[in-house]
Amino acid sequence: MSKKNKNAIDYNVDLIQVKNLKKYFNVGKGATLKAVDDVSFSIRKGETLGLVGESGCGKTTCGRTVLGLYSATGGEVLFEGVNIHGLNAQEKRDFTKHAQIIFQDPYASLDPRMTVGDIIAEGIDIHGIYKGQERTDRIYKLLELVGLNKEHASRFPHEFSGGQRQRIGIARALAVEPKFIVCDEPISALDVSIQAQVVNLLIELQEKFGLTYLFIAHDLSMVKHISDRVGVMYLGTMVELAESGELYENPLHPYTQALLSAIPIPDPELEKNRSRIMVEGEVPSPINPKPGCRFAARCKSAMPICSQEGPVLKEVKPKHFVACHLFND
């Protein structure tokens, strides 16, 4: 496709570098919830990094901490080489011009008492980018860009369907011409046919503006479709990271294998003939986690070392990273 234009992925430039990022929440009684625990990855310019995992694995917290919406407990997030967790208030404000977020729930993330035009222009107003007629023109242009029309600017969110609301959320994120957008489960709340529309829109916009995405979702087949690389999180840690084709064809971590085998395939013959790797039980609590590998208690290949020492994410094949003692030789 149009991968060879100027907006193609630049493999030499890391737009975002996350180094040993930690985000702990104090939940009282001396207990700590380790939502994100020592996670490192980088996102290249123009790339989409998918982040998958079950609810409560810390993927949303990770996305928000990368944007600086939460202050990090430890580690750093470098945006074009600058640690965003060391910025002062003014610099932080400027950073929000470059990094935006699309939220999961299109019903809860739009102010019901603001018109769509004002919602979209909020970032423009805060940064004082456009005023008066220019501002109005910009709103109209954004609405067109996401497949709505300018009559919609004076309406209120309740007049729109879920898919349309998500388009408004996308227009709002694009308003300040960001380089980087965190898409936090942007399609989970939508119907299948509408999901396809929104995903197509996101891909189209990426090609047009050279956007970089951190795409968070639990729909694994959609993540594979949109991402260049995919990271799998489990209970606050990154367990595997690889190019999306490689990860889905050749998953190495026992958790990734189980997760992928749980995806239902829309084909009755294939479904009948495949064997499923079931994980028993549920994700344990991230409050005061036990030492060692977080997945050890549910892992079929667990060894004694797994419950003593946490594995480190390392490259076991070119560009394929996994954190598992099975791959320590």
Distance CA 91, CA 106 (A): 29
Distance CA 186, CA 319 (A): 27
- Cβ-based nearer residue to another protein, 153 or 226: 226
Is residue 271 close enough to count as binding another protein by CB under 8 A?
Answer: yes
Stretch that binds another protein, among 122-130, 151-159, 257-265, 287-295 (CB under 8 A): 257-265
Give residues 155-214 in contact with another protein (rule: CB under 8 A): 161-162, 191-197, 199-200, 203
Among 205, 216, 258, 313, which residue interacts with another protein (rule: CB under 8 A)?
Answer: 258
Contact 217, 50 (CB under 8 A): yes
Is residue 225 close enough to count as binding another protein by CB under 8 A?
Answer: yes
* Inter-residue long-range contacts of 128-135, CB under 8 Å, 24+ positions, other chains counted: 129/176
Q: Is 300 exposed, middle or buried (0-12, 13-18, 19+ CB in 10 A)?
A: exposed
Among 262, 287, 303, 312, which residue interacts with another protein (rule: CB under 8 A)?
Answer: 262
Is residue 264 close enough to count as binding another protein by CB under 8 A?
Answer: yes
The DSSP bridge partners found for residue 24 are 34
Distance CA 78, CA 15 (A): 8
Among 158, 273, 275, 278, which residue interacts with another protein (rule: CB under 8 A)?
Answer: 278
Closest of 52, 92, 101, 28 to residue 225, by C-alpha: 52
Stretch that binds another protein, among 58-66, 71-79, 270-278, 304-312 (CB under 8 A): 270-278
- Cβ-based nearer residue to another protein, 199 or 252: 199
- Cβ-based nearer residue to another protein, 93 or 319: 319
Is residue 226 close enough to count as binding another protein by CB under 8 A?
Answer: yes
Among 15, 33, 153, 220, which residue interacts with another protein (rule: CB under 8 A)?
Answer: 220
Is residue 248 close enough to count as binding another protein by CB under 8 A?
Answer: yes
Is residue 224 close enough to count as binding another protein by CB under 8 A?
Answer: yes
Determine the residue type at 295: F
Among 84, 153, 182, 259, which residue interacts with another protein (rule: CB under 8 A)?
Answer: 259
Q: How far is CA 241 from CA 52, 153, 217, 223, in A?
A: 10, 41, 15, 13
Crossing angle of the two packed helices 162-174 and 116-127, in degrees rounded to 10: 20
| Strand-strand pairing, 212-216 and 320-322 | unpaired
Per CB under 8 A, residues contacting another protein are: 1, 54-55, 161-162, 191-197, 199-200, 203, 218, 220-222, 224-228, 244-245, 248, 258-259, 262-268, 270-271, 276, 278-279, 281-282
